[in-house]
Amino acid sequence: MFKIITAVIGRDLKLAMRRQADIVSALFFFIIVVSLFPLGIGPEPDLLRKLAPGVLWVAALLATMLSLPRLFADDHRDGTLEQLALAPHPLGLVVTGKVIAHWLVSGLPLALVAPVLGIQFDLSADALIVLTFAILIGTPALSGIGAIGAALTLGLRGGGVLVSLLVLPLYIPVLIFGAGAVDATVTGLGGEGHLSLLAALTFASLGFAPWATAAALKIALE
């Protein structure tokens, strides 16, 4: 069971390394969008501190969205998806591998740069740690839920826009608890409760989303 998941992760990471433009463009999108806000709003630390969690999380959602349409589209176009569906394993495991690989190249880099970007918003050290942690445990849920949308719109024209319409509403809980965790830390309430709910969302979506995605992929392959 783990063999197939690691095989898929290994292949997808190797492909991502050969095509670094994809990773770099989503990361730079995140960096630039987040950095535009302090420039646009001006040097008002109180306002910036209030805006920071929301801005960083919305930018993280959008950056994750950028790479979603290609999650299955390339494999679909060159016929590899058929071969994956015909592998002697449940398709859900293959999808789990692809979701983890997607998180490693899209979610993890966001978490790594988030503390640096947070400094621009004059966040305290505590808040920066919670922010990094929240993005780290929240983004796997984004990859998991996003995979369902990517699979449902596979092979459709204008699939990219459709993915956003389909997936962004489902991202709202992650956004609320993710931004809430940082917000609660800034106001001194403590973000543990939000972080636990965020972790619960991630586990639930990593457990269920691959199977829903697999069902959608089977329909797309008919």
Partner 1 sequence: MLEADNLECVRGERRLFAGLGFRLKAGELLYLQGKNGSGKTSLLRMLIGLLPPEAGEIRWKGQSIKSDDFRADLCYLGHLNAIKEELTPLENLLAAARLADEELSDDDALDALEQVGLAGREDLACKFLSQGQKRRVALARLVKEKRPLWILDEPFVALDVAAVDWLAGIISGHLQRGGLAVMTTHQLVDIPAGTVRELRLS
Binding residues for partner 1 (CB under 8 A): 3-4, 7-8, 10-11, 14-15, 18-19, 77-80, 82-90, 94, 218, 221-222
Coil, strand or helix at 222? coil
User: Minimum distance between the CB of residue 32 and partner 1, rounded to whole angstroms?
Assistant: 27
Question: What minimum distance in Å lies between the beta carbon of 75 and partner 1?
Answer: 9
Of 80 and 120, which has the nearer Cβ to partner 1? 80
Asked if 69 and 150 count as a contact pair (C-beta separation under 8 A), the reply is yes
Residue among 36 and 87 whose Cβ is closer to partner 1: 87
- Whole-number minimum distance, CB 4 to partner 1, in Å? 7
Does an H or E element contain 69, and which? none
Nearest distance from residue 27's CB to partner 1, in Å? 19
Is the CB of 40 or the CB of 79 nearer to partner 1? 79
End-to-end CA distance of the chain: 25
**Closer CB to partner 1, residue 87 or residue 189?**
87
Helix (H, G, I), strand (E, B) or coil at 189: coil
Go through 205-218 and write b for each residue having 16 or more CB atoms within 10 A of its CB, e for each that does not.
bbeebbbbbbebbe
Element (H, E) at 91: helix 91-102
